[in-house]
Amino acid sequence: MIRNWSTAALRTVRTLGTARTPRDRAAPVTYGLITLCCVLFLISPASGLNPAYGTGDELLAAQRAYFRRWGVIPAELFEDSPGSALTPATALFVHGSWVHLLGNMLFLHVFGAMTEERMGRLQFTLFYLGCGYLALLGYAGANAHSQQPLVGASGAISAVLGAFLFLFPRARVTSLLPFLFFLPLRLAAWLVLPFWAALQWMAAGRAGDGPGVAYLAHLVGFGLGFVFAWVRFGRATRVKSVPATAPEGENQP
């Protein structure tokens, strides 16, 4: 199974807290997406908590069938099958493990609320789903012969990061960097997020075949999100500074 977030990011950058504007408005779409992903994970065989899927080999077989049914299988995506064409959308709500889920949801919680407030609920929903779909589609196109299921929301969440970078470049992000002995530093988003994207780029260049992390989906999503925010909002509506701390996240989507 191919996961959707970078384990390298987990070792390199973590975020604490939550990003908020001074008004701290509600973000129903962001929290609705988080709730939906969590509920679907808990009732799925991936969580290992639903007794209906059994244990041991029976559970593993149920997990494999679940990922193949709802995840993106690049080798099958471009066949003449309407069901396969929907999998880049369904895969956004499927996660492969607890770490995968929690990492993705933490990033969405941190960066989604402010982005949703700026875009508006409907536009943010369409942006999230559209960019997530295209990010997975881009990965599948570049790995058209792969039989590994691709699941996770990190293509869409990477798009949120890209949009956040354009809209809130000076928002402060509290980072824990291992090479600085995990000393917490408050850095601007324009430093942290491009650094994260550079890690994805380097990891994508080293990625081989087989199970792993879909770094390319992260890069496609990040680029789509940044370009969308640039085209849609332009420099005139860009937020110049955000006094509140913007936490980071984990890496696994």
pLDDT, one tens digit per residue, over 129-153 is 999 999 999 999 988 888 899 999 9
- What are the respective helix, strand and coil percentages of the chain, to the nearest 5? 65, 10, 30
Strand partners, 245: 172
pLDDT the model gives residue 205: 63
| Residue 80 banded pLDDT, cuts 50, 70, 90 | low
Contact indicator for 111, 168 with CB cutoff of 8 Å? no
pLDDT the model gives residue 253: 42
pLDDT in tens, 33-75: 999 999 999 999 999 999 999 999 999 999 999 999 999 999 8
Q: Phi and psi at residue 230, in whole multiples of 5°?
A: -65, -45
| Residue 236 banded pLDDT, cuts 50, 70, 90 | low
Q: How many helices (H) and strands (E) does the chain have?
A: 10, 3
Query: Is the pTM value of this prediction over 0.85?
Result: no
User: Residue 246, Cα to own-chain centre: how many angstroms?
Assistant: 17
